[in-house]
Amino acid sequence: MRPLLLANIGQLLTLRAPGKGTGPRRANELNDIGIIEDAAVLCDGGKIVAAGKARDVLRYPARKKLKHLKEIDCEQKVVLPGFVDSHTHLIFAAPRLVDFEKRIAGATYEEIAQAGGGIRSSAEAVRKAPVKALVQQALAALREMAAQGTSTVEAKSGYGLSVEGEIKSLEAIQQAAKAWPGTVVPTLLGAHVIPKEFQSKPQRYVREVCEKMIPLAGKRRLAAFVDVFYERGAFTLEDSEQVFEAATKHGLGVRAHVCQLSSAELWPLLRFHPASFDHMDCVNGEDIAQLARRDTVATLLPGANYFLGLEKFPPARTLIEAGVPVALATDYNPGTSPTSNMQFILSLACTHMKMTPAEAIAAATINGAHALRLAERKGSVEPGKDADLAIFDVEDYREIAYWFGGNRCNAVVLNGIVTR
């Protein structure tokens, strides 16, 4: 890996911490994205060694000693930390086109699930698929994400819904991650939905997750987190507590899908220190007040609202004004959010959730890193952090959220490796 200099940057969004705090960004802090004009970034060994005004970086004492320095002229364009897509369902076998047409004809998410579509139909395909096919598909998606400016991806299992299917999915994530220069954070989502064969005995499936999947994923280091779909028609609060207890016992972090379709109490889960609560469309006021005092990130997924054709979007303004740290992610999945493009998510956040472009960028970078407990390494352009950068073909950072439906990313740096 050659050392790298990104020179002639028009706007560098550093996302460095505005004060001394090291926690996730909240309230007004989200608007402070640390812009430096006429900037440069120097990277060596996969890390950022200097970032700031070009004249300072070019004077950096160790620069002359760097052999074979590769220089990229950014032509006065915008550079920011690579997006941290902190919620994706990377492993699935096929798009769900029948569900897509049913929804166009008026069926709801829950009606489709009851008719045998939805998550369960994806499970059949994943169980049949060879690992190799899952790896290839995941790798293609990771490359597509990188081409759009994403350098860190959380990747969930969750369409296997059996010990074998879930472990196979996590193995596919591990293999795809090894072949991609970016960073992948694997999550076990065995508790995505109750599979068909356990429908009459859901408690037994929760035991499968807690007593088989979680211990195996922990022992084989196949997952960093355990996720649960805590929702009407999926898993109850009691189920979720059992899943979180098992995860904690086996040394894994926890996160949950919550309040997407219906309101639910979140505070009983806070004792497990979840890294993130995701969706949050129907979160209640008491839980908002609790979350404002904690580091659990509210990860908002407007791609799902868009694709489901909903009028309502996650309540970003209410959360931000209450002081809850928010992140944005794609929710890349075949049923409700088939997009890998964080730029489009930023557009949705601005147009439908009234976030400012700066807030949206902070939510998609540094707060995404906090949602994965990786903020010491990811999410901002500061010396010592991983060399994850995205170069955009725009002159003003607000354009990233403004032009929608396309891709303005020119090149991305993944742990010091330039990819176009």
Eight-class DSSP state of 88? B
Nearer to Zn ion, 6 or 275 (CB): 275
Q: How far is the CB of 229 from Zn ion (least distance, A)?
A: 8
Nearer to Zn ion, 85 or 331 (CB): 331
Q: How many residues does the chain have?
A: 420
| DSSP H or E run through 419 | strand 417-419
Q: How far is the CB of 100 from Zn ion (least distance, A)?
A: 17
Q: How far is the CB of 65 from Zn ion (least distance, A)?
A: 46
Q: How far is the CB of 315 from Zn ion (least distance, A)?
A: 18
Nearer to Zn ion, 36 or 327 (CB): 327
Q: How far is the CB of 124 from Zn ion (least distance, A)?
A: 19
Contacts of 190 (CB under 8 A, 6+ apart): 157, 158, 160, 161, 166, 208, 209, 213, 214, 226
274/267 Cα distance (integer angstroms)? 11
Contacts of 142 (CB under 8 A, 6+ apart): 90, 153, 176, 180, 182, 184
Nearer to Zn ion, 57 or 256 (CB): 256
> 344 to each of 303, 328, 365, how far by Cα in Å?
8, 11, 14
Residue nearest to Zn ion as judged by C-beta position: 331
Nearer to Zn ion, 153 or 390 (CB): 153
Q: Assign 3-state DSSP to the chain and report helix, strand, coil percentages, each to 5.
A: 40, 25, 40
Residue 252 near residue 221 (C-beta atoms within 8 A) = no
Spell out the SS3 assignment of 383-403.
Answer: CCCECCEEEECCCCCCHHHHC
Q: Where are the beta strands (DSSP E) in 198-350?
A: 225-230, 253-258, 276-279, 297-300, 326-328
Residue 412 near residue 419 (C-beta atoms within 8 A) = yes
Nearer to Zn ion, 340 or 415 (CB): 340
Nearer to Zn ion, 171 or 331 (CB): 331
Q: How far is the CB of 273 from Zn ion (least distance, A)?
A: 20
Q: How far is the CB of 155 from Zn ion (least distance, A)?
A: 11
48/416 Cα distance (integer angstroms)? 8
Nearer to Zn ion, 258 or 413 (CB): 258
- 196 has which bridge partners? none
Beta strand 4-13 with 78-81 is parallel
Q: How far is the CB of 119 from Zn ion (least distance, A)?
A: 10
Eight-class DSSP state of 281? T
Q: Which residues bind Zn ion (CB under 5 A)?
A: 331
